[in-house]
Amino acid sequence: MGDAWQRIGRVIASEFSDIGDLEQATRLVVRLVLAGLLGGLLGLEREWHQKPAGLRTHMLVAMGAALFVLVSQHSGVSPNDMSRVVQGLVAGVGFLGAGTILKSEGDTRIQGLTTAAGIWLTAAIGMAVGLGREATAMISTGLALLVLVAVPACFAGLLRLTGRRPVPEESREDAQA
C-alpha cells in the first residue's frame, strides 16, 4: 500500500511540474501580476465613470491574454504558431467587446464603443506583458489613460473656447468616457 501512495505522490508532483525552476516561476508571477495591474488601471478609469466593464473585467482580460501567450511560450510554440495564438485572442476579445456595444432600436446612438475598444486594448497590453514586452505594455497603458482622461477634458475646454454647446451626455458615450 505504501508503494501505491508513493506512485500517486509522483503522479501528482509531475502534474504540477510545468514550472521548471525559480526563475521561470518568478517570470510567470511577475508577468501575470503586471498584466493584472495594468489592466486594473484601465478598468479603474472605466469603473470611475460607472461603465459596465470595469476594474475586474479589465484585470481578467489582461491576465487572461498574458496567460494564453505565457502557456504557449512555455509549451514550446514556434513564433509562427504564436501568431495563431495572437490571432485567436484578437478575435475572441473582439467578440467579447462586441457584447458591450449597444444600439437602441429606432435610435441613432451607439453606446459602448469606448468600453469595447478599452477591452480590446487591455487584451493587447496583456499579450505584450505575456510576451515579455513589459515596457511596451506600460507605455501603452499610459497612453490609453491619457486618451481616456485628457482627451475628454481637452474636448470640453475646446467647446468652452469656441462657445459651442456640448452634445448631451446621454447621447454620446465616447466624448465623456
How is residue 35 written as a grid cell?
498584466
- Specify which residues 163 forms β-bridges with: none
Query: Radius of gyration of the chain from Cα atoms?
Result: 21
What are 91-104's pLDDT values in tens digits? 888 888 888 777 66
- Whether the CB-CB separation of 74 and 18 falls below 8 Å is answered with yes
* Nearest to 140, CA basis, from 62, 60, 48: 62
How is residue 51 written as a grid cell?
461603465
pLDDT at 168: 55
The predicted model gives 62-79 an average pLDDT of 92
Integer Cα distance of 13 and 28 in angstroms: 19
Please tell me whether the overall predicted TM-score, pTM, comes out greater than 0.85 for this model. no
